[in-house]
Structure 1
Amino acid sequence: MLPHKSVVAVLRRNSRIFMANHCTSVLPNIRLLREVGVPQSCISMLFRHFTRLVILKHESFSQLVGEVKEMGFNMKKLTSLKAMNALWCRNTFNRNRQVYMMRWGWSEDDFLSAFRKCPRSMVVSEKKLMQVMDFWVNKMGWPSVIIAKYAIVCSYSLQKRIIPRCSVLKVLLSKGLINENLSKPCVLAYAEEQFLEMFVTKFVNQIPQLLSVYQENVDLQDVTS
């Protein structure tokens, strides 16, 4: 099922899988995944990245599968396994659900929509959740319900990705070098090299300080003024 290197990686991450009762947990769990249409590639990913789920008691595992299916996840996609992992972290999931809905005005539909798009955004720490939402809503001026449509922005690092990239975009917008309708969530999703090439290197001759803005080594007002 897994190549040798992957087996070693699984062992290092969670050796309990090799001590689990395969007949009553692991094998029935894998069989259930196959029955509901989870492809082998995703099952292999489950072993590598969500090992703790594989060794759950079959009753608990079946409950997670049932919940994910009921929420409308496509069981043929890896997102369904990420959703199972998020639901397994029940306390964090429920706490963040309350924060999104009570503190930021999301409806139940907003929450479920965001969860389907990015399960990982539901199991970040409450501190990070509040900081990221505060940035988008109070500093960037986004309505909080818009973030539900781009839930992945809640999973990115505020200091390492969101603020540096948004600072670069703010400078480029102030100089009229990019379209104001550019989708910020899409830009945040770019790989590091791709972002640098498209939004820093491309404009560095026109704005020599742009790389310093990205590295947060210069006051933004000195560049946009």
Structure 2
Amino acid sequence: MLAPICRRRRLAIPLLPLLAGGTNPIRSSPVAALLSHGYFNTTAVAAGPDPEPCPATVSYLVSCGLSPAVAATRNVRIRDTDRADAVRALLREYGFSEAEVTRTVRLDTVLLNSDPDRTLRPKLDFFHSLGFPPRFLAAEPHILARSLDNHLAPCIEFLRGVLGSDDSVRTAVCRVPRALMADLDNNMRPAVEAFRRHGLPKESIAKLLLIHLGVLMVPVDRIAEAFDDLKQLGLHIADTGFLYGFRVISTLKRETWVRKVALYRSFGVSEAHLLRAFKTQPTILLVSDESIKKKFRFYLDVLKLETADVMAQPMSLSLSLEKNVMPRCAVLSVLLREGKIERKLNLLPSLLCNSTVFVERFVWRYAKDVPDVVKAFEGKIKFQGFGDREFELLSHYMTEAN
């Protein structure tokens, strides 16, 4: 299935039929077929020349915490510094930290020219009444430019009807604040209706919006294409990974898909293993290139695992090495050195298990006899490798195969 994309060494070659606009035989390959859809295309927009910055505005923005270089790029003139001060004071009144105020100003400098009481306060009251934290607006302050009566309130009401509760609305919006900029009648309603037409039940639509509210910004024709692509990949609506697969397929750019597939193949990942891993953990295609490289090098070179072992446990590519995997390896290394666990170990399942389970099984259980396990888990003892002769590690993949 992946072969038409990955057999050739240069990424540009598989794209030539698509760019030429001729007949493309890759539709027989489900994964390659994804490359033919328009929602993977991007168009570069040339930026016009920046106007000359206003020295007084630059000076004021620097006083707000922006660097001189960043302040000089803001194409806005602060007309009234007293009003701008009042806007910042209002944000603090509603719980914004100084860092959040600075971020808000950096992302939407025009906000400083707004009327704090007539324009901003009613919107801040609205979000405060729903329990939205300040960091939500600091992440996407452009929301405060939208009309409360004509956009924000109707959108929240619509989302409440789909998601079922204010708690769910708050969770979904805080995960993807920019989604609240989507137009209700041109984006949100048509997207939800498209999900229904393609057979997603009410509960699945709500879960999809909780996973990534940005799917409401996907055009309806692209939604149809994504459903078709996932079906050809072998993912069906009732499958556990379908909703996560839709989130990935509907938003991933064409060139990114090609690059990711090629990168996985460069580490010896077979077509079958990549497809199986995608079905289990679709978000492996959202992991950054550098993170993929770092993790594979760690698993293959340091832990001496096989590529098939890693792909059999795709969660291993989603977890942070520094925050999750390496501290757990350090704990296991200490326990192995002290003879507290067996020489043969199913390594990846131990590293990837629930944090509470891992702590109970490997940390608190031995903390009294081996205090170093606590230090290792806290990152105070760094993982230096297991050593070639200390023990034999069994992979989950090998265990299943046997």
Short-chain TM bin: 0.7 to 0.9
Which secondary structure does the structure 2 equivalent of 1:141 belong to?
coil
User: Contact 2:191–2:216 (CA<8 Å) still a contact in 1?
Assistant: yes
User: Contact 2:278–2:284 (CA<8 Å) still a contact in 1?
Assistant: yes
Task: Give the RMSD, CA atoms, in angstroms.
Answer: 2.5
Question: Match of 2:196, as an amino acid?
Answer: R
Higher helix share: 1
Moved more, 4-13 or 38-47: 4-13
Match for residue 71 of structure 1 among 233, 236, 253: 233
Question: 1:220–1:150: structure 2 CA closer, same or farther, 3 Å change rule?
Answer: closer
Match for residue 82 of structure 1 among 239, 244, 247: 244
Which residue pairs with 2:181 in the alignment?
16
1-structure distance, mates of 2:197, 2:294: 39
Match for residue 212 of structure 1 among 368, 375, 387: 375
2-structure distance, mates of 1:219, 1:157: 15
Match for residue 275 of structure 2 among 108, 112, 116: 112
Q: How does 1:37-186 map to 2 (within 5 A)?
A: 38-87=200-249, 88-90=251-253, 91-101=255-265, 103-186=266-349
User: Contact 1:20–1:55 (CA<8 Å) still a contact in 2?
Assistant: no
1:153 Cα shift? Answer: 0.2
1-structure distance, mates of 2:302, 2:173: 44
TM-score, normalised with respect to structure 2: 0.50
Q: Which entry has the higher C-alpha Rg, 1 or 2?
A: 2
Moved more, 59-68 or 190-199: 190-199
Question: Match of 1:174, as an amino acid?
Answer: R
1:8 Cα shift? Answer: 4.0
1:17 Cα shift? Answer: 3.9
TM-score, normalised with respect to structure 1: 0.86
2-structure distance, mates of 1:200, 1:190: 13
Question: 1:30–1:192: structure 2 CA closer, same or farther, 3 Å change rule?
Answer: same
Q: Deviations over 1:168-196 (max 9, x none)?
A: 11222233322344333322333323221
Mapped pair 1:195 → 2:358: yes
Which secondary structure does the structure 2 equivalent of 1:83 belong to?
helix
Question: Match of 2:193, as an amino acid?
Answer: P
- What runs of 5+ residues in structure 2 fail to find an aligned partner? 1-161, 391-402
2-structure distance, mates of 1:106, 1:8: 39
Moved more, 183-192 or 111-120: 183-192
Question: Match of 2:208, as an amino acid?
Answer: L
Mapped pair 1:25 → 2:187: no
User: Contact 1:17–1:51 (CA<8 Å) still a contact in 2?
Assistant: no
2-structure distance, mates of 1:10, 1:206: 45
Question: Match of 2:284, as an amino acid?
Answer: S
Which secondary structure does the structure 2 equivalent of 1:113 belong to?
helix
- What runs of 5+ residues in structure 1 fail to find an aligned partner? none
2-structure distance, mates of 1:202, 1:23: 50
1-structure distance, mates of 2:240, 2:180: 23
Q: What is the aligned residue count?
A: 220
Question: 1:150–1:9: structure 2 CA closer, same or farther, 3 Å change rule?
Answer: closer
Which secondary structure does the structure 2 equivalent of 1:131 belong to?
helix
1:69 Cα shift? Answer: 1.4
Q: Deviations over 1:80-106 (max 9, x none)?
A: 1111222221343332211010x2011
Q: Deviations over 1:91-149 (max 9, x none)?
A: 43332211010x20112112101111111112101111111111000000011122111
Which residue pairs with 1:5 in the alignment?
167
User: Contact 1:96–1:122 (CA<8 Å) still a contact in 2?
Assistant: yes
Question: Match of 1:61, as an amino acid?
Answer: I
Question: 1:200–1:124: structure 2 CA closer, same or farther, 3 Å change rule?
Answer: same
How many percent of aligned residue pairs carry the same amino acid? 21
Moved more, 72-81 or 92-101: 72-81
